[in-house]
Amino acid sequence: MLTGANGAGKTNLLEALSLLSPGRGLRGARLAELVRIGSDAPWGVAATLVRGDATHELGTGSDPANSERRLARIDGAAARATDLGSELAMLWLTPQMDRLFAEGASARRRFFDRLVLGLDPTHGTRSNRYERALRQRARLLQEGRPDPAWLDGLEREMAETGVAIAAARRAYLERLVAALALGNDAFPRPAIAVSGLVEEMLGRASALQAEDEFRQRLAAGRGADIAAGGTAIVGPHKSDVIVVHEAKDMLAERCSTGEQKALLISLILAASQLTGAERGATPVLLLDEVAAHLDPDRRLALYGALEALGGQFWLTGTEPGPFQPLLEKAQFFDVRDASVSRL
């Protein structure tokens, strides 16, 4: 438990931890934005991961020669940042995510893909390959009179990786729905679905057939994509995640702020249970200011659910009061003036 005044640095600690997983961390910050203000020195984060009798050393940071390039090391050996997900699964909730259901589809896709990544560490690599081909194709289309053979190759890459992304989402969704059926009665049960063209293709055709159809649509849509600025107007980068408050049969975006937060907690708990069951290790959970906005009964239910998961979780708050039920079960730290002390 990390407690301290607003601005003391609690969220900074959680963000540092989140960088030990693939991606841009809990703020989605660019690498250059992680450098201390007023400094151009490289940054780094390192941790010792102990699981049973096994110990691993994880580290990541910016390249001293190129601040926009991220480096990673596992047990002293150079690794890709995406490889960190094979060693450690991590999920988080932050106050900025409270409006997830009311925001655009891109935020919900990122949230769902983070859940998938916890169970399937290769999902990040597929997504990176797809995004790279998507950007390269967009640049070619914007240039005018692009090389058709080059476009064909990029569209084949997009079709292959795009269908793999959609298939991973569908497979994860099936497992998540089953985990949600075992949910905690203290939190509303969400019904969840992924809506997208490529996901729909896989619902009626084989993966190879879906690849062919997606590739053909990309080729046929080049003119429309040029008119739209170059980026493909179809693909898994356009899919959305639909969440419904099951008991009320109401879209999550129409629920109250408190209900939306409770739905998010339900999803995180179910995802953590699922990942723990299938990978044999519960994700590390980073919960920023979560307890402060729950009533006492739901706080107790959350603490009970976290304890039942059996993993490691980090919570932040301005006061230790809401965490009193965990006094004999957790470690408490005070964050003050960029320093941390044990309570």
Nearest to 190 by CA among 259, 136, 139: 259
Q: Is 4 annotated as a binding residue?
A: yes
Q: Is 66 annotated as a binding residue?
A: no
Cβ-Cβ contacts under 8 Å for 199 (sequence gap 6 or more): 166, 169, 170, 236, 239
Q: Is 11 annotated as a binding residue?
A: yes
CB atoms near residue 103 (< 10 Å): 14
Q: Is 47 annotated as a binding residue?
A: no
Q: Is 28 annotated as a binding residue?
A: no
Q: Is 105 annotated as a binding residue?
A: no
Nearest to 12 by CA among 271, 338, 248, 259: 338
CA 261 → CA 104, 114, 256, distances in Å? 17, 17, 9
CA atoms within 13 A on the CB side of 186: 14
Q: Label residue 59 left, alpha or beta by phi (over 0 means left) and psi (-120 to 50 means alpha).
A: beta
Q: Is 227 annotated as a binding residue?
A: no
Q: Distance between CA 197 and CA 236 in Å, rounded?
A: 7
Residue 50 CA from chain centroid, whole number: 23
Q: Is 228 annotated as a binding residue?
A: no
Which residues are part of a known binding site for ATP? 4-11
Which residues are part of a known binding site? 4-11
